[in-house]
């Protein structure tokens, strides 16, 4: 018996030593090693983060390091399409969020900051993380706070990250997703151009193209009835002057993700054939592909050489999405014709969809003058604007709230019972269970950064809308509770 134990011990020891040795040997095949968790890190660096369609510099031959990622969550209004605005929730200020580039074996120290101007708590679930919730359980962060957690990148590939705060679908639908690349040891093969494209579907109260600030529509999202299906967060993010570019003879690599929340993408470039596709962004490479399927919450890496000049149209080949919902981009290729490959003339703009005008991000306008409302009617009018910016995303356009997540403000017994309590909640926030119209809610409302006038106006608007009790809130009442 004693001998058997000794022999077993020796066998186990040799297996252990074998694993460690093979793990410390960096293969150049791009395949995951036996135990990548044992790759040592040396030194640290600050991760370069880029907004789409740009990606950070390749990792090349660098060794595994401690990589510090600093990401700020920003809730901001921007253009969805010509004349259509939307309140996006973003990782790093863009949709999709900042691109993160690492290599296998890196130790990522991730700091997530929730900007103090934001309304809601958020977190992050990175599909590149091996651990509970992909980091979500360690990264829940309220406005004005930051959290740090770390993880080791064990598997090379291109991974989606997204917010996973309830209601999860709504956070993703508002743009909270992006990509993190984990390169194999030695890096990906060199190419001439690399770009970052991510598809997403959006659900708005108004139909496609209906102007104005459009709130999120929960029912359409549940029904998977998208108004917009777009690349990089809005209609026209990759068309016209925003098109990505290449020169004849260059090799192009697209890091393509799909944030969803609902729809699967049939990713296709009109007039190109993908020489290589990393299927589902894993290690299996397919060649000579026309259209590749990208699941919601998934990605693909596609590569092709551009041989002739012209404008090549990027689409979701579920084709009504491309021409009627915005899923259309462009690669403009400059250079000399090659009549052997293609004899015809490309006409630029031929595939422009109706209504798909070229968009630009709105600049920051001048600060509005702080007008004091002289009548209750004016208070209601001004309060409505505050509501649209501050409350509408959660409590919805008609104050109906969102079932099981955000309580209704319409005909609300809770609201009508106590005006001072409502003022206090707007000023100081509220966590924990409350009962509204017989239903229990347990969500987080954060303190709102509003002036006394704004609080008075928005509450007066709410109290004078949707069958509430027509209370009037004055700035003096707000001031008293603030102090």
What's the closest the beta carbon of residue 376 comes to Cu ion, in angstroms?
36
Q: Return the residues of window 159-178 that contact Cu ion according to CB under 5 A.
A: 163, 165, 171, 176
Quote the CA–CA distance of 107 and 336 in Å, as a whole number.
45
What's the closest the beta carbon of residue 233 comes to Cu ion, in angstroms?
15
With b for 16 or more beta-carbon neighbours within 10 A and e for fewer, the 391-409 pattern comes to bbbbbbeebbbbeeebbbb
- Give the residue with the Cβ less far from Cu ion, 163 or 394: 163
DSSP 324-341: HS--EEEEEEES---TTT
- Tokens describing residue 10: 């020796």
- Tokens describing residue 38: 């044992």
What's the closest the beta carbon of residue 346 comes to Cu ion, in angstroms?
42
**HSE value, Cβ hemisphere, 13 Å, CA-based, for 231:** 35
- Give the residue with the Cβ less far from Cu ion, 73 or 80: 73
What's the closest the beta carbon of residue 226 comes to Cu ion, in angstroms?
20
For 75, 109, 293, the CA distances from 82, given in Å and listed in that order, are: 20, 39, 29
- Give the residue with the Cβ less far from Cu ion, 168 or 279: 168
- Give the residue with the Cβ less far from Cu ion, 163 or 238: 163
- Tokens describing residue 323: 């021409």
CB 303 within 8 A of CB 253: yes
User: H helices within 276-375, ranges in order?
Assistant: 319-324
Q: Return the residues of window 113-152 that contact Cu ion according to CB under 5 A.
A: 122
- Give the residue with the Cβ less far from Cu ion, 116 or 212: 116
Single out the residue of 295, 226, 227, 238 nearest to residue 267, CA to CA. 295
Spell out, one character per residue from 171 to 210, where the chain touches Cu ion: x when CB under 5 A holds, - when not.
x----x----------------------------------
- Give the residue with the Cβ less far from Cu ion, 163 or 226: 163
What's the closest the beta carbon of residue 208 comes to Cu ion, in angstroms?
25
Site size with Cu ion, rule: CB under 5 A: 5
What's the closest the beta carbon of residue 122 comes to Cu ion, in angstroms?
3
Reply yes or no: is the peptide bond before residue 144 cis, omega within 30 of 0.
no
- Give the residue with the Cβ less far from Cu ion, 103 or 162: 162
- Give the residue with the Cβ less far from Cu ion, 157 or 200: 200
DSSP 103-139: ETT-EEEEEEEE-TT--S-B--EETT--SGGGGGGG-
Helices 452-463 and 419-428: crossing angle in degrees, nearest 10, is 130
For 225, 392, 434, the CA distances from 401, given in Å and listed in that order, are: 20, 9, 14
What's the closest the beta carbon of residue 447 comes to Cu ion, in angstroms?
17
Q: Is 104 in the site for Cu ion (CB under 5 A)?
A: no
What's the closest the beta carbon of residue 392 comes to Cu ion, in angstroms?
16
Residues that bind Cu ion (CB under 5 A): 122, 163, 165, 171, 176
């Amino acid at each position: 018996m004693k001998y058997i134990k000794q022999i077993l011990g020796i066998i186990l020891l040799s297996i252990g030593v074998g694993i460690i040795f093979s793990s410390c040997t960096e293969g150049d095949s791009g395949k995951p090693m036996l135990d990548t968790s044992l790759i040592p890190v040396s030194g640290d660096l600050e991760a370069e983060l880029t907004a789409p369609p740009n990606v950070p510099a390749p990792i090349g031959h660098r060794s595994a390091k401690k990589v510090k990622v600093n990401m700020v969550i920003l809730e901001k209004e921007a253009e969805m399409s010509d004349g259509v605005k939307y309140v996006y929730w973003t990782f790093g200020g863009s949709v999709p969020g900042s691109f993160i580039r690492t290599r296998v074996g890196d130790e990522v120290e991730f700091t997530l900051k929730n900007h103090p101007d934001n309304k809601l708590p958020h977190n992050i679930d990175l599909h590149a993380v091996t651990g509970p919730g992909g980091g979500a359980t360690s990264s829940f962060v309220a406005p004005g706070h930051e959290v740090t957690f770390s993880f080791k990148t064990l598997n090379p590939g291109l991974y989606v990250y997204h917010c996973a705060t309830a209601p999860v679908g709504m956070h993703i639908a508002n743009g909270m997703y992006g990509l993190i690349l984990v390169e194999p040891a030695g890096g990906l093969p060199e190419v001439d151009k690399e770009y970052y494209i991510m598809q997403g579907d959006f659900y708005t109260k108004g139909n496609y193209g209906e102007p104005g600030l459009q709130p999120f529509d929960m029912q359409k999202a549940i029904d998977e009835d998208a108004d917009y299906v777009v690349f990089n967060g809005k209609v026209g993010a990759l068309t016209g002057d925003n098109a990505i570019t290449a020169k004849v003879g260059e090799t192009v690599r697209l890091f393509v993700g799909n944030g969803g929340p609902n729809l699967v993408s049939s990713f296709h470039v009109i007039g190109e054939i993908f020489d290589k596709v990393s299927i589902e962004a894993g290690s299996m490479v397919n060649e000579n592909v026309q259209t590749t399927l990208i699941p919601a919450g998934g990605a693909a890496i596609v590569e092709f050489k551009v041989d002739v000049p012209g404008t090549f149209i990027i689409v979701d080949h579920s084709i009504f999405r491309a021409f009627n919902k915005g899923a259309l981009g462009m690669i403009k290729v400059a250079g000399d014709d090659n009549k052997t490959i293609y004899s015809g003339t490309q006409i630029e703009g031929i595939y422009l969809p109706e209504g798909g005008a070229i968009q630009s991000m709105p600049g920051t306008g001048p600060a509005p003058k702080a007008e004091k409302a002289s009548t209750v009617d004016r208070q209601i009018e001004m309060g409505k604007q505050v509501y649209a910016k501050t409350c509408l995303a959660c409590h919805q356009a008609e104050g109906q709230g969102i079932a099981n997540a955000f309580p209704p403000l319409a005909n609300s017994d809770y609201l009508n019972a106590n005006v001072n309590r409502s003022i206090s909640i707007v000023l100081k926030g509220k966590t924990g269970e409350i009962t509204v119209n017989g239903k229990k809610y347990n969500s987080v409302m954060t303190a709102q950064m509003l002036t006394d006038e704004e609080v008075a106006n928005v509450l007066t608007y709410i109290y004078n809308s949707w069958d509430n009790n027509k209370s009037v809130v004055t700035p003096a009442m707000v001031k008293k509770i603030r102090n």
